Structure 1
Amino acid sequence: MMAGSLHFLLLSLCVLLEPVTEIGGLLLKPVLSGPSEAYVRSEVQFDCAVPGWSSPLTFELRKDAGDLIAAENNVKVTFTLQVTEGSEGEYYCRLTAGGQTSNSIHFQAFLS
């Protein structure tokens, strides 16, 4: 196999393995942004959106093994949380259409 063909095959495989949702022929992948740490009793916000997408979608904010924290429907959603000692963990955003997940954010809560 030629080097160029092998490179194309590997690149295609990486694209196929990337978790995305397909709607109307377009591939969608949510992106989560937010803080990685905050003090207990403070308030934090996590934003979830699909870059370049302009129609409402239902996003879920999940933690660790899949615990549902909140869900909202919009083009871009902002989840606001009150920080407790139990807030520590791995947070990610999930699209309900297709179940695709975003990057994760490891969040730590500190006592003030």
Structure 2
Amino acid sequence: MYGISPFILIILPLLFQLVYGRKSIGESISLKFGTVSLISFILQVVLSIAACYIASYNFTESLEGRPYRCGMGILGIIVLVFLLTIILLIVIIVQYFIKRSYEK
């Protein structure tokens, strides 16, 4: 379970933005679009930090007492975090322009 949980934590804010951002644009929920975007961005930061800690813990547990460890797995997760943060920002910008076009 711990092996896949960092990846799930990293993807959750993007899924939140896609689902609730669309509902916010259609005004089927009471949250405003700016609030949904702010929540998803804060979640991205917090859950990314949690995912890195969980991945580090998993790597430490997999060592089984050996003194050395490879950090390339952590580096891969950090790169994935940056990639998904950029994708999240692109989704927020696209949804903002969609919202603006509906208001005209």
- Judging by fraction of residues, say which structure has more helix: 2
More strand by share: 1
TM-score by length of 2: 0.26
Which gives a bigger RCO, structure 1 or 2 (Cα 8 Å, sep 6+)?
Answer: 2
TM-score of the superposed pair, with normalisation by structure 1: 0.25
